[in-house]
Amino acid sequence: NDLPGYGQFVDWEKIDPEAAKKYQQILRSEHQQLKTMAREGFWAMPHTLRAKAYYHIIHSINSIRAVTPDRDVYYELTKKLFGEQKRSSHPVPKYMEDGEIPRYCLNKAGLNSAKKVLLCLGKYFIDMNFCPILPALVSLILHFSEDEAECFYSVSRLICYNDPNKRYIDQTFLTYRASCMTFGDLANKCCRGIRKLIASSHQNLFEFYSDWIMWIFADLPFTYAIRVLDVYLLEGYKVLYRVALALLDLYKVSVSSRVADVEDFRTDMKRFVQNVARHCTAEKLLERAFKISVPTRRDLNLLFTANKDIEYSISTNMNLVFTYVSKRLPVETVDFNNFRSNVVTGTEMRVIWAWIPERFALFSPFRLFSTAEHERTLVFGAFLSTDVAERRKHDSEELAYFGTGECLVFMVSFLLGSCKYTLLISTCPLSGGDGGHALCLQRDLQGGYTEPCETFKSIALCKRDFKIQSLEVWGIQNSISFSHCFPSK
């Protein structure tokens, strides 16, 4: 019943038999069937059907070795925190990024209830120190909850879920940053155009990517957010990556024609998402999202873990504790203003840096080798995310595949026009296989050749044979395992 206080004498299943039939179908469906139904909007209408579907789905989420607080726990927490008061005057929990609770369609009482649930979650999950999406999640789920206690219990189940390959909520600044880096890695492969625009504008690419999850759970209009929530409750974090990439792809189309007028890409993107209805319906957004090819859950988790490890290493070396306060620390440590090279400019290196994996791009480039300063006797590999020595790790005379799937080659060209030049980079992820050398240098570093390569799915970077006028090798400070060479033809 969508009208509180009315209809308590009515058998609503007789009033709306189609919704009752759909609910029985939901109860009989397996997980894979429910995923398909969620993507198609099976329980989008009426409101009560979605509420029942959420209740069934959330109560089916089982966490391994985790105890979820029940309704009684919520009643105890509210008694301790608020006593007999029905309204909360407490400051918002510190794990919230900016203290705002998305209102969506909640009335004043609903907004107060959302705040109480958020305070109780913070009181119970004491290790949760940074979780900017939780206010929106609580607000959305409260729309479809019987009362505050049910909302608290539902969100708690998502927080307690501990399968690393299908997680729901980041609870610390460390995991939040790792997720932002993981999204950046995905965006660098799936939405290359926007990366180039932002990097060329001298704006901070990581700061732009760090807003990705708030595009969904803060900026999207209510009707879009609940359609994402339909799928998220069944598929977990992976669907958020898909939707954010779809939004980024839409934004690229919108901003390309007006890039000269954009002063702040972060603000512009936020405004774009808030007004996404001008560009795409909720259903078309989801269709677009599921057409995007993303890694498997296992591979996503491996990438997320690698990013989390590098963030932990940084925090340990800097003797930091990631809390709400440390969120305000600057995210860019790379200084391209004082960059010096005989081959590329600081602006060009900034764009190149935007193409490498996020966990490496945190560090500053430093020059390891230059033909202008050193003898021409260096033997080296191409653009590698792991040590080239791994090619012979398998006790075999044969060369073996190696790397993390993040090796790349690139091509630089300069296009004059409007008193500007453009840096064009063509990259492809390592996929294994033979079929040509993307880049091959002579031992004396006097010349080399390039040809189409099946491994990188790349074209020749220039005419086949070239002479080297200048060559530099760049490493990444504090992370020598990834190096770059820039031969200048």
Could you tell me if 111 and 103 are in contact, meaning their C-beta atoms sit under 8 angstroms apart? yes
Cα separations in angstroms, 444 against 372, 378, 437, 464, 465: 14, 8, 18, 18, 15
What's the token pair of residue 334? 């790379």
Residue recorded with tokens 């005989």:
342
Q: How many CA atoms lie within 13 A of 223 on its CB side?
A: 11
Of residues 203, 348, 201, 243, the one with CA closest to residue 251 = 243
What's the token pair of residue 89? 């005057």
What's the token pair of residue 464? 């086949």
Could you tell me if 166 and 70 are in contact, meaning their C-beta atoms sit under 8 angstroms apart? no
What's the token pair of residue 257? 């024609």
pTM score of the predicted model: 0.73
Q: Which residues of the chain have pLDDT under 50?
A: 1-3, 320-332, 376-378, 380-381, 414-417, 419-433, 479-483
Q: What is the mean pLDDT of the chain?
A: 80
